A and B are shown apart, each in its own frame.
Chain A
Amino acid sequence: MSSLHRKTIKNRFLSAGRVLFALGPLVLTTVFAAEARAQSANEYQVKAAFILNFARFIEWPSDASGGELVIGVIGDDPFGNSLYQVASRGTANGRTLVVRRMKWGDNLRACQILFISASEQRRLGQIIDALRGSSVLTIGETGEFNRSGGVIKFFIQDNKVLFEINATAAAQARLKVSSKLMALSRGGR
């Protein structure tokens, strides 16, 4: 092989190398986009996973068991795709999970779990009143949530997602919270 020939081959490699380098991210994204699996320390992905766990460690009264377990989200939805993904992948005590967008005026009692978004803060009292006597597990993340009668409140401490359970509200909704879940519930600040 002449030295010129060698140099031409080397340069073909080199330009190929440059192209490959530029294509690198495309290769990466197609390889990983093909595999579905959640990751990333995204706050709402973690909360969605918590909600799946709540569904597994809480018992609804016999008249609200069986069939699908409906998770309603009322107000601005902060979950993106996370809640749908979690619901489609998991079951809770044999029940499949279904996520539904709700708005004020809908029949909120049709849900077993209702996530009340921060955007509904003003209406929180009305929503809790509308659910009185029902067995809906209400979940929220605003400061006054538990004091207003909500059952589980998410809060952030040291960049970690934690939760607080209002035992009285849970009892009023005839929800049986497993002792393990109660033990992990922390008093918030």
Chain B
Amino acid sequence: MQLMNQSTSPKCARVKLSLALGLLLLSSAPAFAQESKQVAPQEKPSAQTQDLSDLSIEELMKIKVHSVYSASKFLQKVTEAPASVSIITAEDIKRYGYTTLAAAIRSVRGFYVNDNRVSSELGARGFARPGDNNTRVLLLVDGHRVSDNIYNSALIGTGFPIDVDLIERIEIIRGPSSSLYGTNAFFGVINVITKRGADLGGFEVSMQRATFDTYEGRVSFGKQFNSGLDLIVSASLADTKGPAKLYFKEFDNPATNNGVAENSDGGNLSKFFASISWREFSLQGVYSKRQKQIPTAAFGIVFNDPGSNVDETRGYLDFKYNKALNQNVELIGRLYYDDYYLNSNNVRLFPTAAGDIRVNSRFISQGVWWGAEATVTASISDRYKLTAGTEFRNNLAQDDKAYFEEPFIQFFDDHHSSHEGAAYGEGQFRLSQRVLLNGGVRYDYSPVFGGTTNPRFALVYNPLQKTTVKVLYGQAFRAPNIYESFVHSQPGPFATLKPETIKTAEVVVEQYFGDRVRVAGSAFSYGIRNLITRITDPQSGNQTFVNVGRVTSSGFESEVEVKSNFGMQGLFSYAYQSSRDSDSGAKLSNSPAHMLKLNLNTRLGFRNTFGGLELQYMSDRKTLAAQTAEDFLITNFTVLTQQFKNRFDLSFSIYNLFDTRYGNPASVDHRQDIIPQDGRTFRLKLTYRFTGK
């Protein structure tokens, strides 16, 4: 049946080719027996290259080790964390050429990212309703909430306020985490940990050139002074023209340039980051702005108008106090001030008696908020660790307005403010040498949605030294964001929108073979209630949001990670899930049943040169028009040379190596059903470091 199908064979040819590339990478890694002896003494230490027993003390003191911070707000080994955790390091970001946080998340088991050519939408465990604003995964930077106070959107694409080069590691914690973090920690939490001045040790300048006339530059300075003061400052600028021509078949008629949007997919961004820490105090300031043209004519704007764009700014100041009161008790206090601004500037057709006229239309959202948080962690004895905390947030402004400039017509101009408070506690109890019990609960209150209590339990069992079994159950919620609560609802007091809730049960098994191989498997099941859904009110004809919608889903995931001593590491994952709308029994849109991911990295012939191969396969997804966004395999490849002449890093990346054509399901705000994605693109990146040593 499919034998004659043209579209299948090129795809499978790519699978073959990708595999061949993978095997080529494997074979280019030098034979390990000789390598470890040659490499051991002179090489700059890297944990991938040698047996640690052969390293000198000085070298051992330079190796970086991992622990997970977020899962329970206190440092824990990954195996003990009451959740399934994935970590992406700064080294991974360099070796696989990730240009954004979204690109790094794409490599993570069970997660997927859909780009609609304006923003990047995050999906987890088969749930990613097109147009839903990334509200169901909480995004943090060093524990600070990045999600804004109007849409509660996790800005993971170009809107992510930190330059990817400043990321020390990304901790992805799966599962409901509202018991610690409150709203939006529905499917998980992503905590991005930034670098310290000590990690930079001087100046760093980086330049990038990529397809579509993309340029990016960064200057950073970081240092840890003898007094213990740690400082890091960084500025980045980027600009891209985007593809000169983009074709959308839904607009293919002479009135709309035959479906071609010309010079309409460009953008630019600027990001500033500064962080100072000294002893118990740290202060972090971030400012990021991005501008992106809208090529898809989303939200009914005029097609092929290079003047249509979205302008998004995010800034914050975060002050943290972290003190060990004594050997057993730690206190963390945080005070923050945030700002978010979104301006969508475009052209619409306005019908008048004299025919349609073009009007400039604007949609502006502005959010300002501040908050405070305090957490105490105490080790009562070696067996008990308790955390208790409280959080308060005051939304000074949550404003939205929409209007036409000329003739001036104001559609709405809403000003809101609100506040919310929460208290949470978590305990970790070591029942025996092999069994750890973790339980937590958080109560959130806001006049907007009332109160909600969310617990989480985890049992971590080590039947054998190298085996970990986790049994997890948790509840999480997503409060309606201000936009859902007020903008499109009936006039009156607070809208009666309730939070969405999710209950998840999960079993995770992790097994180490020797010290080089880790295999993990997990099975989960979840049910969502009171899903906030956009509908057209039959009486008024207006769009509004209501709590209707239940989803059930179950799936399983497996992962194999291998790290050898001769510089090769590999991570393979497979995720299967099935998610349905409980009422209709229909499968969800934009929900791929299968996802396979492979990340392979190896030392190439030359010293400090690495090759990184990434394969990502996603199966068919249903679109809103009940069509199919076909399955696809993306191959990315990066060659990286580090520490060249002790100063330079140079990398060359090819993304979508085989020029696969694929698209992502669009939302109700698009006339398109599928948004086509880019073909093959390249990037060249040079980083220069001067440490003054």
CB of B226 within 8 A of chain A? no
Q: List 9 A-B residue pairs with CB atoms under 8 Å apart, sorted by A's residue number.
A: A31-B26, A33-B514, A37-B32, A37-B565, A40-B563, A76-B382, A82-B515, A158-B199, A180-B57
Residue of B nearest to A118 (CB): B382
Give every chain A residue within 8 A of B416 (Cβ-Cβ): none
Stretch at the interface among A18-26, A64-72, A106-114, A132-140: A18-26
Residue of A nearest to B91 (CB): A41
Give every chain A residue within 8 A of B563 (Cβ-Cβ): 39-40
Residue of A nearest to B14 (CB): A17
Q: Which residue of A37, A42, A122, A143 has the most chain B CB atoms within 10 A of its CB atom? A: A37
Contact (Cβ within 8 A) B51 A37: yes
Contact (Cβ within 8 A) A17 B16: yes
| A:36-74 near B, CB below 8 Å | 36-43, 45-46, 48-50, 52-53, 57
Contact (Cβ within 8 A) B60 A50: yes
Pick the contact of B57 from A14, A24, A159, A181 — CB < 8 Å? A181
Contact (Cβ within 8 A) B514 A24: no
Stretch at the interface among B63-71, B282-290, B351-359, B477-485: B63-71
CB of B198 within 8 A of chain A? yes
- 5 nearest CB pairs, A to B: A37-B565, A14-B12, A17-B16, A49-B52, A43-B65
CB of B583 within 8 A of chain A? no
Pick the contact of B60 from A14, A37, A46, A142 — CB < 8 Å? A46
Contact (Cβ within 8 A) B572 A38: no
Docked Cα-Cα span, A43 to B76, in Å, equals: 11
Contact (Cβ within 8 A) A90 B53: yes
Contact (Cβ within 8 A) B60 A49: yes
- List the interface of chain B (C-beta within 8 A of A): 3-4, 9, 12-13, 15-16, 18-19, 22, 26, 32, 36, 47-53, 55-58, 60-67, 77, 168, 196, 198-199, 324, 327, 381-382, 430, 433, 465-466, 512-517, 519, 560, 562-565, 568, 570, 572, 596, 598
Contact (Cβ within 8 A) B77 A43: yes
Give every chain A residue within 8 A of B57 (Cβ-Cβ): 50, 53, 57, 180-181, 184
Interface residues on A, range: 35 or more
Docked Cα-Cα span, A57 to B433, in Å, equals: 33
Docked Cα-Cα span, A159 to B196, in Å, equals: 11
CB of A85 within 8 A of chain B? yes
Closest chain-B Cβ to A165's Cβ sits at a distance in Å of 12
Contact (Cβ within 8 A) A41 B516: no
| A:135-157 near B, CB below 8 Å | 142-144, 156
Contact (Cβ within 8 A) A29 B517: yes
Give every chain B residue within 8 A of A80 (Cβ-Cβ): 465-466, 512, 515
Give every chain A residue within 8 A of B49 (Cβ-Cβ): 39
Closest chain-A Cβ to B65's Cβ sits at a distance in Å of 4
Give every chain A residue within 8 A of B4 (Cβ-Cβ): 7
- List the interface of chain A (C-beta within 8 A of B): 7-8, 10-11, 13-14, 17-18, 20-21, 24-25, 28-29, 31-33, 35-43, 45-46, 48-50, 52-53, 57, 76-78, 80-82, 85-86, 89-90, 118-122, 142-144, 156, 158-162, 180-181, 184
Residue of B nearest to A158 (CB): B198
Contact (Cβ within 8 A) B60 A53: yes
Contact (Cβ within 8 A) B36 A37: yes
Closest chain-A Cβ to B232's Cβ sits at a distance in Å of 13
Contact (Cβ within 8 A) B327 A144: yes
Contact (Cβ within 8 A) A18 B382: no
Docked Cα-Cα span, A25 to B465, in Å, equals: 24
Pick the contact of A86 from B53, B168, B381, B564 — CB < 8 Å? B53
Residue of A nearest to B32 (CB): A35
Residue of A nearest to B224 (CB): A158
Docked Cα-Cα span, A85 to B562, in Å, equals: 18
Contact (Cβ within 8 A) A24 B572: yes
Residue of A nearest to B17 (CB): A17
Pick the contact of A40 from B430, B515, B560 — CB < 8 Å? B515
Residue of A nearest to B598 (CB): A24
Contact (Cβ within 8 A) A161 B517: no
- 5 more A-B residue pairs beyond the given contacts A35-B565, A37-B565, with a C-beta to C-beta distance below 8 A: A37-B36, A37-B564, A39-B565, A159-B64, A160-B64
